[in-house]
Amino acid sequence: MRSLNVAGIFLLLGIATVALMIWQHVGMNIQHNLLADASRTATLFSDRINGGTSAGTVSGSDGDVTLQCNVNHNDFTHAFCGFTLNVAARNQGVDITRFNTLELDVEYETPVNDTLLVYLLNKEYQPEERERANMQPLNILAGKSSYSISVSSFFVPSWWIYQFPRDDLQGQANMKNVTKLRLTTGDNAQSRSVKIVLRSAILSGKAISKTQMYFMVIACWIIVTAFFSIRLLLGLYHSSKAHKAKNLKLHAENSQLYVEKQKLSEVAKTDPLTGVLNRAGLTHAMLMLKLNDIDNSDTHSLIYLDVDHFKKINDNFGHDKGDEVLVALCDMLKASIRHSDLLIRMGGEEFLIICTHTMLGDASQLAEKFRNQIASSIIADIDITCSFGVTECRSSNLQSAIARADKYLYQAKQSGRNQVCSTLA
Ligand SMILES: Nc1nc2c(ncn2[C@@H]2O[C@H](COP(=O)(O)OP(=O)(O)OP(=O)(O)O)[C@@H](O)[C@H]2O)c(=O)[nH]1
């Protein structure tokens, strides 16, 4: 749902971008009629400012501005003639930088070849009060009256720079506060009679320039992309944090479970009454012995022992006393066997001792030692004896060796109990 929203927003943004570009290209047109908005005072502007003698009149009718002038050649200044038209409404100049072109409908009647100079005078107060002359010459063609001048092609003529030599940016066109439009004859200074008729001067452009539009569009894309990127990164950061916490929790739970499993595994292998290995522990021990400790060449011995007449102990002293006897017997045996030997409760009052790396003779002697020790001790306040079956085994046939040991134990029982029977006998 969230990704759909993001895709939808980017789709909308894409559509809006394309629509805006098309609109900017075919629409968004703005125009400013310099003749309509101005207070329309047109005045003669000629070489008389420099001491020349050209003379003429400026008149206006039906929105036109007409100049009739006799250009009089002279030897001391450039002869020219023209007019200046005030285009500022209520002293507020026109910011022409918003426009792309100046469309002029103008006729220039002159008997000689000449250019028509178009000026846009920019009123400036810094660093001093002056009118910057932004100028563009027009090549007048016979029969043509409509001219389109690119606003960006206006430049400051060298005579103006010469007049204001103090400003670093003096040569740059500035058209942010244009107050006057001026048309004058051009470079041809021959004496002649000229007529200039200005019918319209229209600035045209776009409400939003291409540059502005691209800037806005790119800014929108950057903002939207940054917004979703940050949101995505924050989401990833939070989910990775949550995953990390979950993983840590799982790890802790796993560790706990592993400890519990180890404990349960130990409990499962241990006889709860005596604390020695049970049959499950024997299986584990067999695996361990086969895999780790014993190779086939090793010889081990088994001592299978059983408390004699244990039923009577239970019957005479109670089951709890019987338990006590079993626990005390195990304690005694545990204290006597080696660390590498294993003591297993096979069930009831039967126990198996696996004597690793022990020959039959030594195991028989050990069994005899246990028998004697038990018979001569008072265990849990009870005088007990045990019968023993001893045999030798190799790791590969432990099960059959247990059966053999059990057989010798049975033999010991049959032979009167409190004795050791083995293969040796
Ligand atoms: N107190 C106690 N008694 C047990 C336990 N496990 C088995 N027994 C008892 O041990 C007795 C074993 O009796 P039997 O199998 O007849 O053997 P026995 O009386 O020792 O006679 P022999 O083995 O022939 O000398 C039974 O009465 C069982 O109930 C135990 O964990 N605690």
Q: Note the pLDDT tens digit of each residue in 340-391.
A: 899 999 999 999 999 988 999 999 999 999 999 999 999 999 999 999 999 9
Beta bridge partners of 86: 180
| Residue found under tokens 């014993």 | 294
- The string over 3-12, giving b where at least 16 C-beta atoms fall within 10 Å of a residue's C-beta and e elsewhere, is eeeeeeeeee
> How many residues in total does the chain contain?
425
pLDDT of residue 59 exceeding 80, the answer is yes
Contact between 267 and 278 (Cβ < 8 Å) = no
Listing DSSP states for 89-137 in one string gives BTTB-B-GGGEEEEEEEEEEE-SS--EEEEEEEEEE-SSS-EEEEEEEE
SS3 83: strand
- Quote the CA–CA distance of 326 and 320 in Å, as a whole number: 10
Match domain 29-206 to its CATH number in 3.30.70.1520, 3.40.50.300, 3.30.230.70, 2.60.120.430: 2.60.120.430
How many A from CA of 31 to the centre of ligand 1? Answer: 118
pLDDT in tens, 69-112: 999 999 889 999 999 998 887 668 889 998 999 999 999 999 99
Residues 186 and 78: their CA atoms lie apart, in Å, by 10
Q: What is residue 37's predicted lDDT score, i.e. its pLDDT?
A: 56
Question: Nearest C-alpha to atom 24 of ligand 1 is from which residue?
Answer: 309
Residue 5 has pLDDT above 90, yes or no: no
Residue 211 has pLDDT above 90, yes or no: no
Return the pLDDT at 138.
95
Let me know: does 181 contact 154? Beta carbons within 8 Å.
no
Pocket lining for ligand 1, CB < 6 angstroms: 273, 306-311, 314, 319, 322-323, 326, 348-349, 413, 417
The pLDDT of residue 102: 97
b/e map of 140-155 (b: 16 or more CB within 10 Å)?
beeeeeebebebeebe
Token pair, residue 339, equals 């660390």
CA distances from 23 to 100, 102, 145, 208, 210 (A): 17, 22, 31, 10, 11
> Cα separation of 22 and 206, whole Å?
13
**What does DSSP say about strands 192-206 and 29-33: parallel, antiparallel, or unpaired?**
antiparallel
The residue-averaged pLDDT of 39-60 equals 90
Residue nearest to atom 32 of ligand 1 (CA): 323
Percent of the chain scored above 90 by pLDDT?
69
What is the number of the ligand 1 atom nearest to the C-alpha of 310? 20
pLDDT reading at 129 higher than 90: no
Which tens digits make up the pLDDT trace of 97-109?
A: 989 999 999 999 9
Closest CA to 136 of 156, 160, 164: 156
Give the count of beta carbons closer than 10 Å to the beta carbon of residue 201. Answer: 24
Identify the DSSP state of 275: -
Per domain, the residue ranges of the chain are 1-28+209-230, 29-206, 279-421
pLDDT at 168 over 70: no
Q: How many percent of the chain have pLDDT more than 70? A: 93
Identity of the residue numbered 57: T
The residue assigned the tokens 């246990």 is 370
Question: Among 199, 179, 180, which residue's Cα sits nearest to residue 63?
Answer: 199
Per-residue pLDDT tens for 225-281? 999 999 999 999 999 999 999 999 999 999 999 999 988 888 889 999 999 999 888
324 is catalytic: no
Q: Is the pLDDT of residue 395 over 80?
A: no
* Interface confidence (ipTM) of the complex: 0.96
How far apart CA 149 and CA 85 sit, in angstroms, is 18
Kindly write down the DSSP assignment for every residue of 9-36, as one continuous string. Answer: HHHHHHHHHHHHHHHHHHS-EEEEEHHH
* CATH architecture designation of domain 279-421: 2-Layer Sandwich (3.30)
Pocket test for ligand 1, best of 307, 311, 415, 417 (most atoms within 8 A of CB): 311
Q: Which residue, judged by its Cα, is nearest atom 21 of ligand 1?
A: 309
pTM for this one? 0.52
Q: What is the identity of the amino acid at 188?
A: N
Please say if the pLDDT value at position 149 is more than 60.
yes
Say whether pLDDT at 132 is over 70.
yes
